[in-house]
């Protein structure tokens, strides 16, 4: 239902939500600068957890575990966190394939707590990405309609076993406050694109022009490499304004599976695709936005990018590391550096820490199951590994190999999203 405001009464009937008002929790004196990593059990026998790591380069405990918060969710597919730490300290994370999100109170890094959780919400299922609005609320992309046309196998069933018909090929956006209450929602179905996969993946908020841009790409394995569209919304009333195709370019593939949109230094929106293309959207405030393929990276399965100043940092599994583009001429990005971590490392998530000038990089496979911190030269775009960020084994980076974790569980970790404290 488009542009439908939901009352709390309706919410109680349509959502599985366990949120209560978070009481004031005084922060521990001299709270450390922390890195929060959302992870699970690689063997999927244990539960999802939030790991807290000392991220202060000046600290003698730099790179060491401080604490961990266990949840009651058996690991299915721990996935996204928010991209940056919100001012409220109430962090949204999800186990995507379990169809469940958590609201974590991390105001005190040494005492994180689960404030609540939710599954289906406002008629939508499988929340994916979270973006903060100017009012402090969270705008969440939901991949699917919660009312499929055929019987749904349930969130506990493997995603690979679910048919597209059962999952539904449209979803929506939902605005939620820090207590997990629905403020408003809007579906993304577009009759003119009825034959397309319109599963909201991620989004970016552009309050200066009253717009939201979302991408459509499926997390459902049979539908991978099928999405090819983006959508433009009016932020003030969450009305869908436009559905449009990305530019296929000369090779006719790099636009497939658009994922992460980011605002460039010129105000245009850059979108990374799973097929390792880079699209640029302009004219977003007009009735005729235009997407143009401006760069192609090697290989496929390119992951979460980060923009720092005029530099676009892209995780590229094919080079076992990263490629940095200079966006000084946004229509013609230029590669200025690349970094290979190891022959086995396949990067996925990146996130920027303005406090220390570091970029976190989590692994996308178990062959090199280590997380690294990177440093970016703000003048040249040269990218290097922070060799001072070391685990207790003395090696650079943090290992998610089998170990005993602070919450008492023993096993190999499966990390994904990561975000620094403010």
The arithmetic mean of pLDDT across residues 344-362, rounded, is 97
**Confidence (pLDDT) at 222:** 74
pLDDT in tens, 74-126: 999 999 999 999 999 999 999 999 999 999 999 999 999 999 999 999 999 99
d(CA 221, CA 219): 6
* pLDDT grade for 6, boundaries at 50, 70 and 90: very low
**Confidence (pLDDT) at 224:** 77
DSSP 140-180: EEEEEESS-SS----TTS-GGGS-HHHH-SB-EEEEE-TTS
pLDDT in tens, 354-402: 999 999 999 998 899 999 999 999 999 999 999 999 999 999 999 999 9
**Confidence (pLDDT) at 167:** 63
* pLDDT grade for 251, boundaries at 50, 70 and 90: confident
Mean per-residue pLDDT over the chain, rounded: 90
Residue 21, CA atoms < 13 Å, CB-side half-sphere? 2
8-state DSSP, 13: H
The Cα-based distances of 21 to 116, 127, 130, 179, 181 in angstroms read 9, 21, 20, 6, 10
The arithmetic mean of pLDDT across residues 253-268, rounded, is 97
In the chain, what's the furthest Cα-to-Cα distance?
58
């Amino acid at each position: 239902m488009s542009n439908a405001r939901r009352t709390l009464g309706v919410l109680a009937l349509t959502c599985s939500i366990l949120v209560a008002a978070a009481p004031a929790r005084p922060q521990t004196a001299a709270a450390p600068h922390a890195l929060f990593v959302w992870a699970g059990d690689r063997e999927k026998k244990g539960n999802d957890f939030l790991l807290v790591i000392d991220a202060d380069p000046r600290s003698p405990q730099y790179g060491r575990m401080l604490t961990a918060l266990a949840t009651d969710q058996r690991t299915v597919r721990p996935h996204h966190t928010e991209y940056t730490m919100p001012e409220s300290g109430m962090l949204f994370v999800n186990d995507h394939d379990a169809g469940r999100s958590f609201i974590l109170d991390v105001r005190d890094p040494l005492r994180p707590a689960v404030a609540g959780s939710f599954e289906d919400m406002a008629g939508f299922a499988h929340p994916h990405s979270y973006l903060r609005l100017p009012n402090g609320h969270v705008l969440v992309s939901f991949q699917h309609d919660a009312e499929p046309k055929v019987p749904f196998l349930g969130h506990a069933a493997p995603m690979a076993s679910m048919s597209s018909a059962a999952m539904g090929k449209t979803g929506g956006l939902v605005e939620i406050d820090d207590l997990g209450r629905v403020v408003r929602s809007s579906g993304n179905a577009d009759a003119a694109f009825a034959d397309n996969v319109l599963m909201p993946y991620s989004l970016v908020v552009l309050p200066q022009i009253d717009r939201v841009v979302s991408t459509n790409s499926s997390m459902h394995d049979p539908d991978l490499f099928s999405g090819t569209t983006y959508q433009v919304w009016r932020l003030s009333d969450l009305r869908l304004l436009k559905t449009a195709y990305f530019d296929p370019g000369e090779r006719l593939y790099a636009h497939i599976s658009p994922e992460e949109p980011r605002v460039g230094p010129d105000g245009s929106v850059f979108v990374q695709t799973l097929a390792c293309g880079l699209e640029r959207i302009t004219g977003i405030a007009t009735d005729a936005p235009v997407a143009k393929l401006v760069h192609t990276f090697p290989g496929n399965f390119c992951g979460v990018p980060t923009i720092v100043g005029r530099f676009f940092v892209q995780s590229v599994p094919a080079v076992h590391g990263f490629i940095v583009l200079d966006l000084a001429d946004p229509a013609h990005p230029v590669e200025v550096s690349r970094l290979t971590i190891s022959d086995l490392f396949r990067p996925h998530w990146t996130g920027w820490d303005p406090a220390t000038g570091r970029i976190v990089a989590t692994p996308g496979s178990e062959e090199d199951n280590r997380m690294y911190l990177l440093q970016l030269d703000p003048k040249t775009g040269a990218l290097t590994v922070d060799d001072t960020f070391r685990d207790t084994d003395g090696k650079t980076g943090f290992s998610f190999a089998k170990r005993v974790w602070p919450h008492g569980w023993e096993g190999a970790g499966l990390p994904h999203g990561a975000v620094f404290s403010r």
